[in-house]
């Protein structure tokens, strides 16, 4: 059976990497350092996927631009300290990425992380070898603007209808829709499958390995990824 897609594009935090907990902790430590009230875990999970400046502004809309920049610096310093050993990839990710490469898929990353942070985590474990191209929010426009995906599609010379975006936030799914692409929602990251299902993913999964199963035999899956 021929593949339905040629290019698979992944979000990073909460989709490939088990880093949501560190993001929540770093955001609240940064708030304390900046003299701001901490936010709930649910609120912080709700901004994961956005570019950092925008995420801070959503959580703390009263902050002026200079205060957002100071908060951003606090967060960066704290996250780096917490992430001395980069967050691990979720169970099944390494095996699946290797299988996707062997099966002829092109692979990419579109993340709200900045290039510097993304390069650091890729290089530490040699994960950059999995991907044809990666894009961070500081190289394009933040999600859900489709520019990151458009850049990836242009680099890989793949039409939107032959590409698939995989992510754990509504911003990932909205970005895919804005780019004219299909999407897959993962329910083990920042947001629930119930929230993500409203944005029209092709399938919802609760374990990364289910993506490979769905791509191989999509007619055997229902909307809950089982």
The domain boundary residue, chosen from 60, 83, 106:
83
Cβ-Cβ contacts under 8 Å for 83 (sequence gap 6 or more): 19, 22, 121
Q: What is the pLDDT of residues 147-184, one digit of tens each?
A: 999 999 999 999 999 999 999 999 999 999 999 999 99
The predicted pLDDT at position 3 comes to 77
Confidence of residue 214 (pLDDT cuts 50, 70, 90): very high
CB contact at 8 A, 134 and 111:
yes
What's the whole-number mean pLDDT along residues 96-106?
A: 96
Return d(Cα 121, Cα 196) in angstroms, integer.
26
SS3 168: coil
Q: Which of 6, 11, 83, 172 is catalytic?
A: 11
138 is catalytic: no
Domain count, the chain: 2
24 with 14, same domain? no
In a domain, 226, yes or no: no
Q: Which of 13, 83, 168, 172 is catalytic?
A: 13
102 with 13, same domain? yes
In a domain, 45, yes or no: yes
In a domain, 167, yes or no: yes
In a domain, 131, yes or no: yes
SS3 207: coil
Return d(Cα 92, Cα 20) in angstroms, integer.
17
71 with 163, same domain? no
Token output for 112: 């709200």
More confident residue, 225 or 3: 3
What range defines the domain where residue 211 resides?
A: 7-18+88-216
The predicted pLDDT at position 225 comes to 43
206 is catalytic: no
């Amino acid at each position: 059976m021929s593949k339905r897609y040629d290019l698979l594009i992944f979000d990073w935090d909460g989709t490939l990497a088990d880093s949501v907990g560190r993001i929540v902790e770093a955001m609240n430590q940064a708030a304390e350092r900046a003299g701001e009230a901490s936010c709930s875990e649910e609120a912080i999970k709700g901004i994961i996927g956005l570019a950092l400046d925008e995420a801070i502004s959503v959580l703390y809309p009263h902050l002026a631009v200079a205060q957002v920049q100071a908060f951003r610096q606090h967060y960066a310093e704290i996250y780096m300290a917490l992430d001395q050993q980069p967050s691990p990839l979720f169970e099944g990710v390494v095996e699946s990425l290797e299988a996707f490469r062997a099966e002829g898929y092109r692979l990419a990353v579109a993340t709200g992380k900045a290039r510097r942070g993304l390069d650091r985590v890729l290089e530490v474990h040699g994960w950059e070898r999995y991907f044809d191209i990666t894009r961070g929010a500081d190289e394009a426009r933040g999600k859900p603007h489709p520019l990151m995906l458009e850049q990836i599609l242009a680099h890989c010379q793949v039409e939107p209808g032959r590409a698939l975006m995989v992510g754990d936030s509504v911003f990932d799914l909205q970005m895919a829709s804005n780019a004219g692409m299909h999407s897959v929602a993962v329910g083990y990251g920042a947001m629930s499958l119930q929230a993500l299902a409203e944005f029209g993913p092709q399938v919802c999964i609760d374990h990364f390995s289910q993506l490979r199963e769905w791509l191989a035999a999509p007619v055997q899956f229902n909307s809950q990824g089982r």
